[in-house]
């Protein structure tokens, strides 16, 4: 049995693609007979500092409250040092670091260097991190290069969750060693297939993900409102939380065919996707390989998405899904094409389902990671 630690800025119950990736990887590594430790941020004081779960033992590092909803900044205080000392006693054989720009990743790189532990970093981004502010984004780029250069001194093996991510690493003069694709738990296909029930009377359009401007959700709402003037049989579901959620609720409280669900559980997400005809991912965010698109494929949704990150590695042609531009009119045009062709919706949903099932399975990805990463002798 090996002891494998995964350092990730965020982890469940915080919802996002990296968090789902970390959970599914930890789950598979545990089922292989390993002990898994997750080191993450205590972004909410109600979360336990140390917690034992069926999937992994979790250590949560103290975190400043500022920006904790978007970017967790870990405190290097007495509690931090205590947790690091506890980790040193765990006899860790290998460390996996999730992405470059979190302070958690920097502290992970220092930890592996100090304790001579084999490590690798898995990149989840394909552009610079953005908060949709030119001044802050410029400072963010400078910071991202600085922290990456520090991490590079201690970590030599880099991978990406998509080919697009490995190409992005070259921007930092990093030559990736390969791809560990973001994947889905294919056992959930059987578990959730009973939820697939598409209405014949209306067209259900859905977005799930963080409620931040960079994810394009405001552009989707604009596109939907324009379409709803022409089509009365469509509805829009928005699931997720984030800093612009209150703004979205306030601006759309009179819209009867827009349903704003807030944060919902993974099972509720899958139920929602089961009744969804068209899933839209209108993101301009630094995507890796969007988990939401993989999950939409599991539930046989037709997908309209921007070409961010590894999206085009899933949706490689128009028989699998539609790639759109970043403006509301671009999103609207692709959705409208599907509204007028229910057979196309069904075809795309079935084709994407087969692509996801056959090519993006955690059974394959976790085994590849386990066989690739290095361990202490």
- In the chain, domain spans: 3-183+361-372, 187-359
> What was the pLDDT predicted at 15?
84
Contact call for residues 203 and 339 (beta carbons, < 8 A)? yes
> What was the pLDDT predicted at 68?
58
What CA–CA distance (Å, rounded) separates 100 from 117?
18
- Residue ranges for the chain with pLDDT beneath 50: none
> What was the pLDDT predicted at 52?
97
> What was the pLDDT predicted at 67?
67
Contact call for residues 162 and 309 (beta carbons, < 8 A)? yes
Using N-to-C axis directions, what is the helix angle for 134-152 and 103-115, rounded to 10°? 10
> What was the pLDDT predicted at 130?
74
> What was the pLDDT predicted at 98?
97
Determine if the pTM surpasses 0.85. Answer: yes
* Backbone angles phi and psi of 305, in degrees to 5: -150, 150
What superfamily in CATH does domain 187-359 come from? Glycogen Phosphorylase B; (3.40.50.2000)
- Angstrom CA distances, 126 to 19, 58, 149, 263, 311, stand at 17, 28, 17, 26, 11
279-295 burial, b for 16+ CB within 10 Å, e for fewer?
A: bbbbbbbbbbbbbbbbb
> What was the pLDDT predicted at 137?
82
Per CATH, 3-183+361-372 and 187-359 having the same topology is answered yes
Strand partners, 207: 238
What CA–CA distance (Å, rounded) separates 278 from 49?
40
Strand pairing category for 50-52 and 57-61: antiparallel
> What was the pLDDT predicted at 69?
66
> What was the pLDDT predicted at 136?
81
* CATH number for the domain formed by residue range(s) 3-183+361-372: 3.40.50.2000
Question: Would you tell me how many other CB atoms lie within 10 Å of the CB of residue 160?
Answer: 30
What CA–CA distance (Å, rounded) separates 95 from 108?
8
């Amino acid at each position: 049995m090996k002891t494998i630690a995964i350092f990730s800025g965020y982890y469940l119950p915080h919802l996002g693609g990296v968090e789902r990736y970390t959970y599914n990887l930890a789950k598979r590594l545990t089922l292989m007979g390993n002990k898994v430790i997750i080191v993450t941020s205590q972004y909410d004081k109600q979360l336990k500092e140390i917690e034992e779960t069926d999937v992994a033992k979790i250590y949560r590092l103290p975190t400043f409250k500022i920006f904790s909803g978007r970017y967790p900044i870990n405190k290097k205080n007495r509690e931090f040092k205590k947790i690091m000392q506890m980790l040193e006693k765990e006899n860790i054989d290998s460390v996996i670091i999730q992405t470059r720009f979190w302070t958690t990743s920097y502290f992970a790189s220092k930890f592996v260097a100090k304790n001579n532990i084999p490590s690798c970093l898995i990149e989840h981004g394909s552009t610079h991190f953005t908060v949709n502010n030119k001044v802050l984004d410029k400072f963010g780029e400078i910071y991202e290069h600085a922290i990456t250069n520090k991490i590079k001194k201690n970590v030599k093996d880099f991978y990406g969750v998509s080919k697009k991510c490995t190409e992005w690493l070259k921007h930092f003069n990093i030559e990736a060693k390969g791809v560990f694709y973001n994947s889905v738990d294919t056992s959930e296909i059987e578990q959730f297939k009973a939820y697939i029930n598409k209405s014949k009377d209306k067209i259900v359009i859905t977005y799930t993900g963080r409620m931040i401007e960079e994810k394009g959700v405001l552009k989707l709402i604009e596109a939907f409102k324009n379409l709803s003037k022409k089509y009365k049989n469509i509805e829009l579901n928005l699931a997720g939380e984030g800093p612009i959620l209150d703004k979205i609720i306030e601006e759309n409280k009179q819209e009867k065919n827009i349903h704003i669900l807030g944060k919902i559980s993974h099972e509720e997400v899958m139920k929602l996707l089961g009744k969804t005809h068209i899933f839209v991912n209108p993101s301009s965010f630094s995507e890796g390989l969007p988990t939401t698109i993989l999950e939409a494929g599991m539930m046989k949704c037709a997908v309209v998405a921007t070409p961010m990150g590894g999206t085009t590695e899933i949706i490689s042609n128009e028989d699998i899904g539609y790639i759109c531009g970043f403006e509301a009119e671009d999103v609207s045009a692709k959705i409208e094409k599907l509204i007028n062709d229910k057979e196309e919706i069904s075809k795309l949903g079935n084709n994407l389902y087969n692509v996801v099932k056959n090519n993006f399975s955690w059974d394959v990805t976790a085994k590849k990671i386990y066989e690739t990463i290095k361990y202490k002798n």
